[in-house]
Structure 1
Amino acid sequence: MTRLNGKTAVITGGATGIGLAAAKRFIDEGAVVFIFGRRQDALDAAMADLGPNARVVKGSVSAEADLDRLYAAVKAERGTLDIVFANAGTGGPLQLGQITAQHINETFDTNVKGTIFTVQKALPLMGQGGSIILTGSSAGTTGAPAFSAYSASKAAVRNLARTWAEDLKGTGIRVNVLSPGATATELAKEALGVEGQKVFAAMTPLQRMADPAEIAAVAAFLASDDSSFMTASEVAVDGGLAQL
């Protein structure tokens, strides 16, 4: 497929997991992809894996100056931008009663503030036909035990798409949310272990975790003109977890 032929994409959190899988899929479909992440070793590995249509920029979505460098690089080489996949995210467990201000700030700085500025700073480069994809989560719909801050941040991301679809009226730019469930990224597999993966797999009607490539396939759909009449929508790619 070449649905993204000639298009320019930015993927934050693009060096590993879902972001890396999406970068591979976008490139396979013809895009030039700028991946943005904090770890130089992961960026270097991703660049070696993705080939000549990948570009890497090191930085954090929590730092506006880093995002400015990212979009300056896009503008200098490509001039315009077609796709933003605001995928960078973080979150960890803390039970109610143990939640700290630092925990809340770290989660919301990346998942909410980082998403807002990732998109806002991209807009001057985008125009008619542009696609913005935000990474939500099944936890934003169902909640998740001990994940108060993370779940709340992903519920906020869902609302950002609704609000921005209104704000972007008349621009021809669409914004949608891609909400995965448990996904077998390298980080998740390491964190959960074999038994933990079985627990999460058992929670879905499909009785397994997602492969990152399955999430990437839906991201490519949302990035492409195949989803041209979709905006403010949430697409759940969660094996049915949040749908029952």
Structure 2
Amino acid sequence: MDTLQGKIAVVTGGNSGIGYATAKELKKQGATVVITGRRKEAVDKAAAELGIIGFVADQGQVSAIQQLSETVKKQYRAIDILFINAGILGGGAIEQATENDFDNVMNVNFKGAYFTLSNFIPLLNDGGSVVFLSSNTASMHGANSSIYSSSKAALNSVMKIAAVELAPRKIRVNSVSPGPIQTEIMTKAGYSADQLEQLKDWMINRIPLRQMGNAGDVAKMVTYFSSPVSSFITGAELVMDGGMSLKS
């Protein structure tokens, strides 16, 4: 299929997980894809596997975001699709939270995502598409999730405002909010194999469909929002969590 033939797409955090799967799907649909990530070795490996371009950029550093947008502009002049996917887990109980915990999560998940959008708006072609990776926790109220959940709730608010601001240029802005997805992010957060298995069982027991999600399914939804078939959708949040948020 080549529904995105001739389109230029940028995927932040595209060296693993949902970002990697989305980069693969966008390329499958005909787009020229650029991925970013913080670790050069991981970015180079993913880019080589996918046959696409990779740039090293830390979404937690505004200066790196600015440099990334300048690099992309120099090489491609303009883009059509921006998937702001990079994010981290973190935080705990409010009473035990530290400023460092707060800043680590917010600098990547909210501030970094915000300024990625801000810096790439001038590069977006009219009629383009922006998709944020949010989370079903943005509308849930689980204990020990205040910082992460707040970062994603803030993203959804920005998404809706951006949809209004960019509507005159026919640029659509939406977000996809997955529930538990089988990716490497939990391992990166420092959980042991036993802890991961316990966490997986706990999550599955809270999901009506009794299964965790797949990165490929999320990738297809992001690609849908990026394609002409969703041309009348903007300011929308699509929750993909097997019904988990229905039980919150």
Range of TM-score over shorter length: over 0.9
**Hey, which bits of structure 1, 4+ residues long, moved more than 4 A?**
none
Aligned mate of 1:119, from 112, 117, 120: 117
Say if 1:180 and 1:238, in contact at 8 Å, map to a contact too.
yes
Identity rate, percent: 34
Paired AA for residue 80 in structure 2: D
User: How far, CA to CA, are the matches of 2:3 and 2:186 in structure 1?
Assistant: 30
The CA RMSD measured in Å over matched residues stands at: 1.5
Alignment equivalent of 1:221, drawn from 219, 224, 233: 224
Contact 1:91 1:149 in 2 (8 A): no
Q: What is the aligned partner in structure 2 of residue 235 from structure 1?
A: 238
Which structure 2 residues correspond to residues 180-199 of structure 1 after superposition, within 5 A? 180-188=178-186, 191=191, 192-199=195-202
Deviation at 1:240, TM superposition (A): 1.4
Aligned pairs (5 A) from 1:161-172: 161-172=159-170
Distance (whole Å) between structure 2 residues aligned to residue 142 and residue 156 of structure 1: 13
Checking the alignment, whether the CA contact within 8 Å between 1:198 and 1:208 is kept in structure 2 is: no
State the number of aligned residues.
242
Q: Any unmatched runs of 5+ in structure 2?
A: none
Residue equivalent to 1:81: 79
TM-score by length of 1: 0.94
Map 1:1-244 to 2 at 5 A.
Answer: 1-51=1-51, 54-188=52-186, 191=191, 192-244=195-247
How far, CA to CA, are the matches of 1:3 and 1:199 in structure 2?
A: 39
Q: CA deviation at 1:57?
A: 0.8
1: CA distance, partners of 2:204 / 2:218 = 16
Letter in 2 for 1:44: D
Q: Work out whether residues 75 and 125 of structure 1, in 8 Å CA contact, stay in contact via their aligned partners in 2.
A: yes
Instruction: Name the TM-score, length of structure 2 as normaliser.
Output: 0.93
- The answer as to whether partners of 1:132 and 1:176 remain within 8 angstroms in 2 is yes
Which whole-Å CA distance do the structure 2 matches of 1:31 and 1:243 have between them?
A: 35
Distance 2:67 2:94 in 1: 38
Instruction: Give secondary structure in 2 for the equivalent of 1:129.
Output: strand
Cα offset, 1:122, TM superposition = 0.5
Measured at CA, do residues 113 and 187 of structure 1 come closer, stay the same or move farther in structure 2, by a change above 3 Å? closer
Report if the CA contact (8 A) 1:161-1:175 is conserved.
yes
Deviation (angstroms), 1:64 = 2.3
Structure 1 range deviating more: 220-229 or 84-93? 84-93
> Residue 239 of structure 1: SS of its match in structure 2?
coil
C-alpha distance in structure 1 between counterparts of 2:30 and 2:79, whole Å: 14
Q: Which structure is higher in helix share? A: 2
CA contact (8 A) 1:189 1:197 kept: no
Give the secondary structure class of the aligned counterpart of 2:168. coil
How far did residue 189 of structure 1 move? 6.0
> Secondary structure, in 3 states, of the residue corresponding to 1:88?
coil
Q: Which structure 1 residue ranges, 5 or more long, are not aligned?
A: none
Between the aligned partners of 1:189 and 1:105, the Cα distance in structure 2 is: 21
